[in-house]
Amino acid sequence: MEKRYFEVRSDDGNASVLIGHAAVFLPCLSEDLGGFVERINPGAFKRTLAENPLVHCLKNHNTDLPLGDTGNGSLILSEDSTGLAFRLSLPEGVSYACDLKALMQRGDNLRCSIGFNVVSESWDDSGPIPIRTLIDLNLYEISVGVVFPAYKDTDVALRSLAEARKAIEVADRERQRRIRETERRIAHGKILKWKHR
């Protein structure tokens, strides 16, 4: 199973819902994943979501720390024009969920991740760094509370629905800016390498 990491933000001290995108589609590129970058094709989750799999949401990929799943309805997943959208109702009275919520409320720069297996992919070796395009994936889990992202263009927030909609609009504008920058770098043969911070 492969894993990819994404950003998490928190703005609302009263909400107990995470809402956003756990994965974003091309042309967004990942950071350097060890000599290559990747992008996710629109539709990459369509088949697996149609099969209604049991997908878990975990804290930091730890199976001992479940936060919700699609089976009980606490995790809702869908594919939209941006990517893999999700809504997670955090469990009440669960210590590690309360800890996660407190860290997000404080503004810690935590991230999300997905765990998946590749069904179909393609490779483009024509540029300065190979680009892997994920075409069809089996999704097993999403995680929150992780540290190092592969994709910087995802959006996740802990907030009310109205605030989430406004934040997603702001994130979409920022995503479009990053897309234009990525396209410019590709056109000039420059792609940012992964930097450990």
Question: Residues 77-89: pLDDT tens digits?
Answer: 999 998 988 888 8
Q: Which helix (H) or strand (E) holds 174?
A: helix 161-187
| Domain regions of the chain by residue span | 2-187
- Token pair recorded at residue 101: 């919520």
Q: Could you tell me if 191 and 128 are in contact, meaning their C-beta atoms sit under 8 angstroms apart?
A: yes
- The mean pLDDT of 104-120, rounded to a whole number, is 84
Rounded-to-integer distance, Cα 104 and Cα 111, Å: 10
Amino acid (1-letter code) at residue 124? D
Rounded-to-integer distance, Cα 17 and Cα 158, Å: 6
Q: Could you tell me if 106 and 98 are in contact, meaning their C-beta atoms sit under 8 angstroms apart?
A: no
Is the whole-model pTM more than 0.85?
no
Q: Which helix (H) or strand (E) holds 38?
A: strand 37-40
Q: Could you tell me if 22 and 157 are in contact, meaning their C-beta atoms sit under 8 angstroms apart?
A: no
pLDDT single digits (tens) 22-55:
888 888 888 888 889 999 999 999 999 999 999 9
